[in-house]
Structure 1
Amino acid sequence: MHVPRLHVITDTVGVARAALAGGAPLIQVRVEDSVSDRAVYDLAGRIAPLCAERGAVCVVNDRPHIALALRAAATHVGADDLPVHATRAVLGPDALVGASARTPERARQAIAEGADYLGCGQINPSVTKDVATNVIGPAGLRAVLAEAGATPVVA
């Protein structure tokens, strides 16, 4: 599956709808870890059909079992989630499976496990959140890109 260059990450139907109306090729449904599986299922269950109507990809973040239940052909997993190879076993060989990779070592591991793309996280500080510890900066991005080779990287 082709990896679009633009990934819209949201936890609301309204943002997904607006992004799709503007031509977004991929919506990643991403919520806080504390949100229940049922709530994620309900939210992604509203967004996935909107994506299908527009020919866009719906990615369910961190919860491949919900992607499977919704027949969404894509998921994104973090370093502490189900491994990429196990995620692919759940969703099948044609699923789009992305993996978080904030370091060259994690990029290497995710690629070896079969990740279709890497998400390297926050490059610059946020003006809306105090998450300075999550910023990898331009040097971190360059390091992940150097390790990624032909594997697409989104930031």
Structure 2
Amino acid sequence: VAWRPAHEQLVLRASGVRGLVIRAGCVYGGAGGLTAPWFAKPGEAVVGDGRNRWTMVHLDDLADAYVRAAESGLAGEIFNVTDRSRFTVLELATAAAAAAGYQGEIRSLPLAAARKKMGDFADALALSQHVDSGKAVRLLGWQPRHGGFLDEVDVFYRAWKARQG
């Protein structure tokens, strides 16, 4: 994620376009995203001990934020778009595994081993995040409709399962 600020500045400084930046939380819902492996392989290892917290956003809420941003007429702004949940990665993975019928423990993959397997992406997965979406609420009138991944994890599992064909 160290590359992100430079990319954001390219968007914000671009001439001839009305650029703005949406910083989405970890997207859930649908058939993909960072939560899909927990459904596909319940008990799959989390990077580190899982005590880190991810900011999350449902894909429908993210889509709503993009539409509101595009229709706003604003430019040069950066918006964080996340729901209000602040669960640990271990809590998220445990709930997803339980929804998939898995009752065992969630395995932990030490960061050094994760780096060998995933490269720099492992560092992103090990980050603990706390992000405020207040600016999107104030300037775009955006409100997340989904309370959080754990609130509807069984629904998300069934939706994911239905899309597996």
What range describes the TM-score normalised by the shorter chain of this pair? under 0.3
Q: TM-score, normalised by structure 2?
A: 0.23
Which structure: greater strand fraction? 1
Q: Relative contact order: is structure 1 or structure 2 higher (C-alpha 8 Å, sep ≥ 6)?
A: 2
Larger Rg: 2
